[in-house]
Chain A
Amino acid sequence: MNVTIIEYGAGNLFSVRAAVERLGHSVTLGSQPGEILAADRVIFPGVGQARSAMDKLRAAGLDEVIPALRVPVLGICLGMQLMCERSEEGDTAGLGIFPLEARRIEGDCKVPHMGWNRIVDPQPPLFDGIREGEWFYFVHSYYLPVSSYQVAGCRYHALFCAALRRDNFFGCQFHPEKSGEAGERVLRNFLDWNGHERA
């Protein structure tokens, strides 16, 4: 299986790559449309600022490639937010896969939301084998609101989206590659997902 991590200059990919390799898969770093179109699984990471990350995706011609993918795609952290319609961060348009907008965390709490927090109502297939209230590692200042696409929530300033899914597109706000055994399980669930719902 060809697992490709999209490399577009937004954040370091070392940890994601190491986590996938620990699960026994070889990893390709892809920055060209051709490389990404040839993948069996695509991981779309991202750290940094939404607008500059979108600029980099457009410059590489990836803003049209990613939404057209038919294989399973996992957006992580900023990658997940960029899969949405818009982000308040730098007031930028995203890839439009989810009709949602990333907003800044506001309330009586520290920003960024950084550390280990519990998820609520985790759904298969991404969260197969994961218990209600399992801990994951988060680092972010913007969040996605609760929606019908949500497959796990998290409580901080309010209830927000910890993970979501639409067809072959998955996203998680936390960092599975930094979330211990539970994170490893989420990555494995994503990589092992064969495109069919469980009965």
Chain B
Amino acid sequence: MLAKRIIPCLDVKEGRAVKGVNFENLRDAGDIAELSARYSDEGADEIVFLDITASHERRTTAREWVARVAGVTRVPFTVGGGIASERDVEALLRRGADKISINSAALDDPSLVDRLARAFGSQCVVVAIDARVERGTWRVYRQGGRVTTPRELFEWADEVTCRGAGEILFTSMDHDGMRRGFAVETLARLAGRLPVPVIASGGAGALEHFRDVFTAGKADAALAAGIFHFREMTIPALKEYLARENITIRL
């Protein structure tokens, strides 16, 4: 039986890890490779890096940090942010990334999902979806949650999965940063209808939130950023708690 995964997420700007709340008041959080190695050694099952470097500042060489991360990280890791072509993906995989995550680029051109899955295999194509409830409907947003789209969460998740996405990373914008728990009911609906793993994101604030996202939320993995960076919760303590709660977890 597969273990439920705990995934810390690191924001990266120009090759450095940054911490902030809702992309504002960004503070330097240290060397990206050192942080990645620390999470990997502490028991993170996977690590997600979100490159928030503005596209006009991003050069092809600006992602050399990926190779530094790959050199010291003993668990799989995913890179997202500004990926829009097969060439981008090839460069990242060649630098040692295990998976890539796309969001706005898939909304611009859904056939990108098909092409990436065909070229590199579904197992390395994660589609990230940011959504919030509007008039009773889960509305999909793009560009880091700044721009609305006509898409609806469940239909969009079905479509990208059919096109070959190997995993769905769902962030509830309504829960993100609130620290009152994950969007458990919505996650359970997603996990119940999708043939691929679902990564839950947005809302982690306490140990019980992780238990609930795996039991009632039926998620395959849970992602969090702030609570791990600010050391409010450590990964070993979280995993020991989940094991005591009879969640299948890697210890």
Residues of A within 8 A of B (CB): 12, 14-15, 18-19, 21-22, 47-48, 110, 112-118, 135, 137, 139, 155-156, 175, 177-181, 183-184
Contact = CB atoms under 8 A, between A and B. Distances in A.
B227 interface: no
14 contacts: A12-B96, A18-B72, A22-B74, A47-B121, A112-B166, A116-B45, A117-B1, A117-B2, A135-B250, A137-B75, A137-B76, A178-B74, A179-B75, A181-B74
Given A12-B93, A14-B67, 6 more contacts: A14-B96, A110-B195, A117-B2, A135-B3, A178-B75, A180-B75
Contacts of A22: 71-72, 74
Contacts of A156: 1-2
Contacts of A47: 121
B196 interface: yes
Interface residues of B, number: 28
8 closest A-B pairs by beta carbon, nearest first, are A14-B96, A116-B3, A135-B250, A115-B2, A18-B71, A116-B250, A178-B76, A180-B74
A117 B3 contact: yes
Given A48-B121, A181-B74, A115 B98 contact: no
Interface of B: 1-3, 5, 40, 43, 45, 67, 70-72, 74-76, 93-96, 98, 121-123, 166, 195-197, 220, 250
A15 B70 contact: yes
| Secondary structure dominating the interface of B | loop
A115 B95 CA distance: 21
| Residue of B2, B95, B195, B197 ringed by the most chain A CB atoms within 10 A | B2
Contacts of B72: 18, 22
Contacts of B5: 115-116
A178 to B, nearest CB: 5
